[in-house]
Amino acid sequence: MYTVRKVTEDLYWVGANDHRLALFENIFPISRGVSYNSYLLEDEKTVLFDTVDWSAARDLIKNIKDVIGDKDLDYVVVHHMEPDHGGSLEEICIRYPNVTIVSSEQGFEIMRQIGFSKVDEHKQIIVKEGDTISFGKHTFAFVEAPMVHWPEVLMSFDVTNGVLFTADAFGSFGALDGKLFNDEVNFDRDWLDDARRYYSNIVGKYGPFVQDVLKKAATLDIKYICPLHGPVWRNDFAYLLDKYDKWSKYEPEETGVVIAYASMYGNTEHAAQTLASRLCDKGMTNVVVHDVSRTDVSELISDVFKYSHLVLASVTYNLNIYPVMKNFIMDMAALNVQNRTIAIIENGTWACTVGDKMEEIIDDELKLCDVLNDRVTINTSLNKANANDMNSLVDSILESMKNIKELKEKLNK
């Protein structure tokens, strides 16, 4: 009954799907919803791994009862205290007054900061890297994963059967809606874009920390990856790990071009579309075009993580960068975007300053990004004189793609 799914012999998914929340963290649109994954181990001891957002506590409680009935809950392990997972901890404490809470030292501090008054009425076990706890047949080893995505984050590994609980890592936006495992969905078709958008916007800033975790994971014999959002992985780990490796090294997944334009009356948009057509003319059809006024910045960021090249086309506004374009560039800086080739198209009717302004921020804030010299400057609308500039920009983009490919081949030899 209810929405429980069996993960392994003794482990159950008891989480919840949320289609009511419009904005995750009150900032990211989630048109496909989101899942809060909570897991319940029924061993000699009963153990809950993380909870759900408080708005979904009813689903969690029903699911727990569905698995253990009137049995008591012995432990709740809190890998990550962000309220989308820790939000129902107080409810668990109230319903299960004998439950022992297991978390990192900082995890407990955050529980108190949130105001969970019941926490200190419970037995507490503080765990750190390398600590183990046995719940019966199953013994768990704890792994510290700071900044993936908060500083208190823990992962844990069931050494008995190879189940790795990864907190936010390997998670995704999107509600599960009955499906649970990666092989029950077409991940590449239906989930990858949301997984990338989730990673790049939420954990993207912390690539080196993710690299540290990937190195630790490489030493484990993993059979299942249980994240706190999205599908549970039970095969095809190489696919997932390769994506995470690329994203956390800020390496593009694909050679291609994102053209992001800020246009007031359609002229800069026309320039962006012209560039897209000219690139396709020359065989580079892996091109996406976004209106920064209409595309949510989280989607722009996701595509920047995916593609190798970025063209910023902006109108001048108040002698500066058009506000939504500036927000996009500053968001790239905040999320540590690096290692991209960037081109600039600027537009201005009487004082075209936006190109220099954008280049200044890129130089100051974005690491290891090359700005191509072939900038296109438009005086209000594209004219014949711009045709040569546009052709030069296309050639320059294609040339840089060729150079990157040759460099990679050399490095791989």
Instruction: Specify the residue, 80 or 138, whose C-beta has the smaller distance to ligand FEO.
Output: 80
DSSP letter, residue 229: S
Pair 15, 53: CB distance under 8 Å? no
Instruction: Specify the residue, 46 or 166, whose C-beta has the smaller distance to ligand FEO.
Output: 166
Site for ligand FEO in 147-176 (CB under 6 A): 149-150, 168
Shortest Å, Cβ 328 to ligand FEO? 23
Shortest Å, Cβ 143 to ligand FEO? 16
Instruction: Specify the residue, 217 or 228, whose C-beta has the smaller distance to ligand FEO.
Output: 228
Instruction: Specify the residue, 76 or 228, whose C-beta has the smaller distance to ligand FEO.
Output: 228
CA distance 241 to 261: 32
Instruction: Specify the residue, 18 or 84, whose C-beta has the smaller distance to ligand FEO.
Output: 84
193 Ramachandran zone, left/alpha/beta (phi>0; psi -120 to 50): alpha
User: What's at 115, amino acid-wise?
Assistant: G
User: What's at 308, amino acid-wise?
Assistant: S
Site for ligand FEO in 51-90 (CB under 6 A): 80, 82, 84-85
Instruction: Specify the residue, 78 or 378, whose C-beta has the smaller distance to ligand FEO.
Output: 78
User: Which tokens sit at 32?
Assistant: 């496909």
**DSSP, residue by residue, 126-139:** E--TT-EEE-SS-E
Shortest Å, Cβ 148 to ligand FEO? 9
Shortest Å, Cβ 171 to ligand FEO? 6
Should residue 18 be labelled a site residue for ligand FEO when binding is judged by CB under 6 A?
Answer: no
Shortest Å, Cβ 30 to ligand FEO? 12
CA 148 to chain centre: 10
Q: Between vectors from CA 237 to CA 234 and to CA 242, what angle results, nearest 5°?
A: 155
Residue nearest to ligand FEO (CB): 82
Which residue matches tokens 């495992």?
181
Strand partners, 158: 140, 163
Q: Quickly count: other Cβ atoms within 10 Å of residue 246's Cβ.
A: 16
Site for ligand FEO in 130-149 (CB under 6 A): 149
Shortest Å, Cβ 80 to ligand FEO? 6
**Total binding residues toward ligand FEO, as defined by CB under 6 A:** 9
Bridging pattern class, strands 154-158 and 163-165: antiparallel
CA distance 358 to 333: 12
Site for ligand FEO in 222-241 (CB under 6 A): 228-229
Instruction: Specify the residue, 54 or 150, whose C-beta has the smaller distance to ligand FEO.
Output: 150
User: Which tokens sit at 18?
Assistant: 């949320």
Q: Between vectors from CA 379 to CA 373 and to CA 382, what angle results, nearest 5°?
A: 85
Helix (H) or strand (E) holding 310: strand 307-317
Shortest Å, Cβ 85 to ligand FEO? 6
Instruction: Specify the residue, 87 or 348, whose C-beta has the smaller distance to ligand FEO.
Output: 87
Query: Which stretches of the chain bind ligand FEO, using CB under 6 A?
Result: 80, 82, 84-85, 149-150, 168, 228-229
